[in-house]
Amino acid sequence: MRRRQAVKKVKVPDPIYNDVTVTKLINAVMLDGKKTKAEKIVYTALDNLSEKTNQHPMEAFKKAMNNVRPLLEVRPRRVGGATYQIPFEVEERRSVQLAIRWIMKASRSKKGRPMAERLALELIDAYNGTGAAVKKREDVHKMADAGKAYAHFRW
């Protein structure tokens, strides 16, 4: 166990949109420390998103992220001999991180196109409320809804 609470590192906002969430997305895209390449991918994807939605890139990105961010998640808890899936509310930091993770997983699973295009397609799907990342969020919410009978087992 830790002696004290871990200090949260403050992320530096990205240089173009001055937003911390975009920085987190860039870091999630980055492979092998190639940050310049990751920035190019993310900025190209955001430009494609704004072209398709006819909105400012940050407004469209925020809407896409809000469509993917989960409000509830389930955590297993062992009571007696059984393990129950207990719903918990998700902190904002964790919900943003889960949304980025789901968007990245969905865009990496699409093959045959450049990464910027795959990420743009997934962000467009998220903006429209469709796609694999939004489906993942709905699945998590369904699991939380199914486990709400065990909510009294929270610790």
pLDDT in tens, 65-120: 999 999 999 999 998 899 988 999 999 999 999 999 999 999 999 999 999 999 99
pLDDT tens, residue by residue, 22-55: 999 999 999 999 999 999 999 999 999 999 999 9
How many angstroms separate the CA atoms of 20 and 18, rounded? 7
Beta-carbon-side half-sphere exposure of residue 104 (alpha carbons within 13 Å): 18
Domain locations along the chain: 20-153
The verdict on pTM exceeding 0.85 is: yes
Q: Is CATH 1.10.455.10 correct for 20-153?
A: yes
Helices 57-68 and 20-29 cross at an angle (nearest 10°) of: 70
